[in-house]
Structure 1
Amino acid sequence: MNIIDELKWRGLIYQVSDEGKVREYLSTPGRSLYCGFDPTASSLHIGHLVPLLALYRFQRAGHRPIALMGGGTALIGDPSGKDVERQLIARETIETSIESIKTQVRRIFGGEVRFVNNYDWIGRTTAIELLRDVGKYFTVNWMMQKESVKNRISRDEVGISFTEFSYMILQAYDFSVLAEQEGCMLQIGGSDQWGNITAGTELIRKKLGKEAIALTFPLITTADGKKFGKSEKGAIFLDPALTPVYEFYQYFMRTDDRDVIRFLRYFTFVSREEIEALEVTLAERPEQRVPQRRLAAEMTRLVHGEEELLKVEAATAALFGTGDLREVDPAMLRTVFNEAPSVSYPGLEGLPDLPQILVDLGLSKSKGQARKDLEQGGVYVNNCRIDLAWKPTAGDLLHGQALLVRKGKKNYGLVQVG
C-alpha cells in the first residue's frame, strides 16, 4: 500500500489540491514535504500528533519531511481558529519553546528529522522587500475570502489587526522559500490551515511559475462532539513535566469504544489486519478494553519510550490488577496519587492508630465509622486487606517511605512516613 492509499484508509486525508499531482510527486523517493509548528507554547500537545505523525509516516515511506518551526510567524500570530487577537510573545520565549519542541519531535522520529526555522528568512526580510516581493502577488479581495479572515471580520467587537491579517502572506512566503531552497513542493497540515497553505501554492504559481500541492488532515473530534486532546485538566501535552506519563497513558485508556478503532488508525502504525482484529475483539468483548490498552501502549511508547511505558504498565497492573506495588517506580507512584488525599507522619513510631489514619485521610468521617469499615473488611494497605489488629512494619513501607491506603474499590489515600 503506498503512502496516499494508507493515509486514505486511515481516514487522514481531508483536503488535497490535486490528488493526481500528489501521487505523481510522491512516486519518486526522497521527495521533500513540510509541516509548520507554532512555538507559542513550550510543548506540543496530542492535537499536534496527526500532522507530526504524518511527517513520520512520509519518512518511513522513503521521503524527506521537514519540520518548520515558526520562530518568525509566532512573533505575529496565526488568526486561524482564534476568536480574538493573540498576545504577542517575546522572541526569547519563542526560541526556548522551539528547543523544547525539537526534543519532543526527535524523540518520536528517533533523532532523524530536518528542522528549519522561518525566522531565518522572515527576520532578514525588510518591510519593503515583503511588500514588493510577496505582498504584490495577493489581492485584499482574495485574502478576505479566507475563512480565518472572514470569521474575524464578521465580528465587529473583535475584528482583525493588520498584523494577523498579514499572517497568511508570511506562511505563503515560507512555502515559496522552501520550494526554492529545498525543492519542497508539498505542504501538509490540519484542515484549519487550508487557507494559509493554498496561499502558498498561489504564491509559488505566480512568483515561481511552478505548481505546488497541498494536503490537509481532518480536525479530530470525539464521538460526543468534543475536540480531541482535552481532559478535565486541559490539554494533554507531550512534555511529561506538563502532563505526567501516567496521565498521558490513562487518557488513551479512557477512550470511548466508539472512538478507539478510529484513533488506532489515526495515531498508530498498527497494521490494517491487526486493527481489524482488534475491532472484532471490541465487538465481542468490549469489557476487556483490549483496543484501548493497545492504543495507550502504542502512544506512550511512541511519545515517551519503552522504559516509561513499562513503568506505567507496572503501575496500572499494581493498582487495577495483580501487580506488586513495590515494583512501581516511586516517581510514578507520586504521580498516580498526586491528587489523592495524603498525610505525613515523622516515623513508624509516630503513626496513630488505623482508625485515626483513615480519619486523617478523609476516608472515614469518624473513628467509629473507621472501625466499622475495618471490621467489615473494606480497608486495604498496599492492596492487602487489613483489620483492626494490623500493625505496620518497616517492611510494609513502599520504597521505605509510604503506605497506600484504600477504602472500597476506588478511594485512595497516601501515608508518607519519615
Structure 2
Amino acid sequence: MTNVYDILLERGYIKQTTHEEEIRELLGREKITFYIGFDPTADSLHVGHFLQMMVMSYMQKAGHRPIALLGGGTGMVGDPTGKTDMRKMLTPEQIQHNVECFKKQFSRLIDLKDGKAIIENNAKWLLNLNYINFLREVGVHFSVNKMLTAECFKQRLQKGLSFLEFNYMLMQAYDFLELNRRYNCVLQFGGDDQWSNIIAGVDLIRRKEHKPAYGMTFTLLTKSDGKKMGKTEGGALWLDKEKTSPYDFYQYWRNIDDADVEKCLTLLTFLPMDQVKRLGALPGEKINEAKKTLAYEVTKLVHGKDEAEKAKKASETLFVGGHDMGNIPTVETTKNSLGCSIVEFLVELHILPSKSEARRLINQNGLTVNDKKVGDPNFIVTEDDFKNGYMLVRKGKKNYNRIVLK
C-alpha cells in the first residue's frame, strides 16, 4: 500500500518538514492523529484553506485522523503572519458565527461521522487561561531573541508589533501541546508561512512531554508569477456560494493561466497523476479542455455535482452564443432602482463590492453592459438598458451577471 507521505510529495503539497524520514516512517507504520488550525477571521473559508482541506482528505483516506482546530481563542488575538498591519479585532459573537460556518464547509471533504475526524475549538482552553500560570508553564520555554528572528514577526517589526500579537506564537504552540495531551496528536500541518509557529509547537511538546512531535508545511497556492492565487474582483475566492457563486467559482478556474493548469489539477483535484500530466501537457488551444476539467472537478468538490453541472452548462451555453442563460448568476431589480449611476446600481445589487472597485473596473475598461464597454462611471441606468427584460453585465473577460427587471 502506498504511503500517504509519498502521495503528498508526488502531488507537490510538501514544502518543509521538521523530521522528514521520521514522519514518512511514522505515516507508513501506524495511524496517527494530526491537526490543522483555521482562524475564523471571516464567515467562510477560501481557496487557500481548500488546499489544506485536500491534504486532510488524503490523510483521512489513508486511515489517519484529522483535527480541524478552529481558533475561537487565537481569533481573539489575530495572527500577525503575512500582515503589515494589525488585524481587525472581532467580537466573540462574530468569531462563534464564523466557527459554525466553517464546520458546514469542512463536511464537503472530510468525513465527520463516528469520530473519524474531530472539530475542536481552542477557545475551550485559551479563554480561561491563568496568565501567570501560562507564562510559567509555556513562556519559560521561549527565547525572545529567537522569536524576533522568525519570519512571521520580521515584516511587522518594521511598522510595530503589538505585545498582543507577540503572544500568538506561544498560543499556537500551546494548542499543539493541548491537542497532544487530549488526543495524542503528534503532527501539525500548515501553510509554509506558519513554519515558525509550527516549530514552536513541536519544540514545546518535546520539552514538556519528552516525546516526539512533528511538523510539516504545504506549498502556498500561488500563480506562475509568484502572486497568491484566489484573488478576484470581489476579493477572495470564497467557498461559500453566497459570497462567491458556483458559476463565478467555476469561471475562475476556467480562466486561469495556461502555466497554472497542471499545478492546480495536481493540488486541487483527486484525479490520478497520469491523467493530470496528460491534461497539463495539452498543446495550444487544447489546454482549454484541461481548464474545463479543472473547473468542473474543483467546483464539484466545493459545491457538489449538481452545482458543477449547472456552472458547466451555463459556461458552455454563454460562450457558444446560445440564449439559455438560466444558470448564470441572476439578481432581480425594479424600476424604482433605475435612474442612478452604473456604479451605484451594481454596488446596490452586490454585483461589485464597493464604489471604488466599480470605478477601478471601469477605468481599466473591464466593465461591459450588453456587449458595450462602460467608459463613464456616471453612466445612468435606464429601462432602455434592459433588452428582453434583462441586462447582461460582464466583469473582466468572462465573468457574467444577469439583472432581471421585474
TM-score (norm 2): 0.81
**Aligned 8 A contact 1:301 1:308 in 2:** yes
Distance 1:279 1:405, change over 3 A: closer
**Aligned 8 A contact 1:76 1:164 in 2:** yes
Q: How big is the shift at 1:221?
A: 1.6
Q: How big is the shift at 1:290?
A: 0.9
Number of residue pairs aligned between Structure 1 and Structure 2: 357
Q: How big is the shift at 1:207?
A: 0.6
Q: Once superposed, what is the RMSD of the aligned Cα atoms?
A: 3.0
Q: Can you list the C-alpha shifts for 1:252-284, whole angstroms capped at 9, x where unaligned?
A: 00111111001111111110111122133x22x
Distance 1:416 1:26, change over 3 A: closer
Q: How does 1:15-414 map to 2 (within 5 A)?
A: 15-109=16-110, 111-112=112-113, 113-153=117-157, 155=158, 158-280=159-281, 282-283=282-283, 285-287=284-286, 289-321=288-320, 325=324, 328-329=326-327, 332-334=328-330, 363=372
**Aligned 8 A contact 2:4 2:28 in 1:** no
Q: How big is the shift at 1:225?
A: 2.8
Matched AA of 1:263: C
Q: How big is the shift at 1:245?
A: 1.0
Distance 1:325 1:288, change over 3 A: farther
Q: Can you list the C-alpha shifts for 1:361-415, whole angstroms capped at 9, x where unaligned?
A: 68599xxxxxxxxxxxxxxx8xxxxxxxxxxxxxxx7xxx758799xx9999968
Distance 1:199 1:325, change over 3 A: same
Q: How big is the shift at 1:287?
A: 4.3
Q: How big is the shift at 1:28?
A: 3.5
Counterpart CA distance in 2 for 1:242 and 1:85 is 24
**Aligned 8 A contact 2:261 2:290 in 1:** yes
Q: Can you list the C-alpha shifts for 1:101-140, whole angstroms capped at 9, x where unaligned?
A: 1111112225544200000011221112211111111121
* Corresponding position of 1:372: none
**Aligned 8 A contact 2:138 2:174 in 1:** yes
Q: Which region of structure 1 is more displaced relative to structure 2, 84-93 or 64-73?
A: 84-93
Matched AA of 2:294: L
**Aligned 8 A contact 2:279 2:287 in 1:** no
Counterpart CA distance in 1 for 2:391 and 2:118 is 48
Distance 1:236 1:364, change over 3 A: closer
Q: How big is the shift at 1:416?
A: 4.0
* Corresponding position of 1:392: none
SS at match of 2:37: strand
Counterpart CA distance in 1 for 2:94 and 2:231 is 24
**Aligned 8 A contact 1:402 1:414 in 2:** yes
Percent identity reads: 41
Distance 1:317 1:211, change over 3 A: same
Counterpart CA distance in 1 for 2:49 and 2:295 is 17
Q: How big is the shift at 1:24?
A: 2.1
Q: Can you list the C-alpha shifts for 1:326-385, whole angstroms capped at 9, x where unaligned?
A: 7x34xx441699x9999xxxxxxxxxxxxxxxxx968599xxxxxxxxxxxxxxx8xxxx
Matched AA of 2:278: A
Could you list the runs of 5+ residues in structure 1 that have no partner in the other structure?
343-359, 366-380, 382-396
**Aligned 8 A contact 2:44 2:102 in 1:** yes
Matched AA of 2:253: F
**Aligned 8 A contact 1:244 1:335 in 2:** no
Distance 1:68 1:415, change over 3 A: closer
Counterpart CA distance in 2 for 1:22 and 1:133 is 27
Counterpart CA distance in 2 for 1:43 and 1:268 is 20
Matched AA of 2:67: I
Could you list the runs of 5+ residues in structure 2 that have no partner in the other structure?
334-341, 347-368, 375-386
Q: Can you list the C-alpha shifts for 1:275-307, whole angstroms capped at 9, x where unaligned?
A: 122133x22x53450110111011100000011
SS at match of 2:107: helix
Q: Can you list the C-alpha shifts for 1:209-239, whole angstroms capped at 9, x where unaligned?
A: 1121110012222112321111232211111
Counterpart CA distance in 2 for 1:150 and 1:364 is 44
Counterpart CA distance in 1 for 2:398 and 2:234 is 20
Counterpart CA distance in 2 for 1:336 and 1:291 is 34
Counterpart CA distance in 2 for 1:181 and 1:335 is 48
Counterpart CA distance in 2 for 1:9 and 1:143 is 33
TM-score (norm 1): 0.78
Q: Can you list the C-alpha shifts for 1:176-214, whole angstroms capped at 9, x where unaligned?
A: 111111111100000000000100011001111112111
Distance 1:258 1:117, change over 3 A: same
Distance 1:336 1:47, change over 3 A: farther
Q: How big is the shift at 1:146?
A: 1.1
